[in-house]
């Protein structure tokens, strides 16, 4: 009986947490200064990543990210100059700042934002 309670308790506690607390942590490249460092220019909800007062790029909100879709997000991260030649966002994939797997993790994270 005690063993069963120990196995069930974590699931019950996790289910009781607010959805934003259960959200996946930002991938390392999202906040790493030598990688994407997305929070240098973009804001996300406080529960999704470290607080940022950045306002150079648009706010990264889950509904908007899902509307763009994974393919479009990946394209924008890989080479944003294809959509906007005057953007100040670096072409993270084209210039090999981020590996394809890192871009994929960021896309999945953005797609899952609240």
pTM: 0.74
Expressed as residue numbers, the domain containing 102 is 24-111
Return contacts of 61-70, CB within 8 angstroms, 24+ apart: 61/113, 62/110, 62/111, 62/112, 62/113, 62/114, 65/110, 65/111, 65/113, 66/111, 70/107, 70/108, 70/111
**Considering the domain boundaries, does residue 18 fall inside one?**
no
Q: What is the DSSP letter of 14?
A: H
Nearest to 78 by CA among 97, 88, 93, 96: 93
**Considering the domain boundaries, does residue 8 fall inside one?**
no
**Considering the domain boundaries, does residue 47 fall inside one?**
yes
Look at the chain and report how many structural domains it folds into. Answer: 1
Per-residue pLDDT of the chain (114 residues; tens, 9 = 90+): 433 443 343 433 333 333 443 457 889 999 899 998 898 898 887 666 666 777 889 999 999 999 999 999 999 999 999 999 999 999 999 999 999 999 999 999 999 998
CATH number at residue 93: 1.10.760.10
**Considering the domain boundaries, does residue 104 fall inside one?**
yes
pLDDT of residue 98: 97
């Amino acid at each position: 009986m005690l063993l069963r309670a120990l196995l069930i308790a974590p699931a019950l506690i996790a289910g009781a947490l607010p959805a934003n607390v259960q959200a996946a942590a930002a991938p390392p490249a999202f906040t790493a200064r030598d990688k994407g460092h997305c929070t240098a220019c973009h804001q996300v909800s406080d529960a999704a990543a470290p607080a940022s007062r950045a306002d150079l790029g648009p706010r990264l909100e889950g509904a908007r990210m899902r509307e763009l879709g994974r393919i479009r997000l990946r394209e924008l991260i890989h080479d944003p100059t294809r959509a906007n030649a005057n953007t100040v966002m670096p072409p993270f994939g084209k210039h090999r700042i981020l590996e394809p797997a890192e871009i994929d993790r960021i896309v999945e994270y953005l797609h899952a934002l609240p």
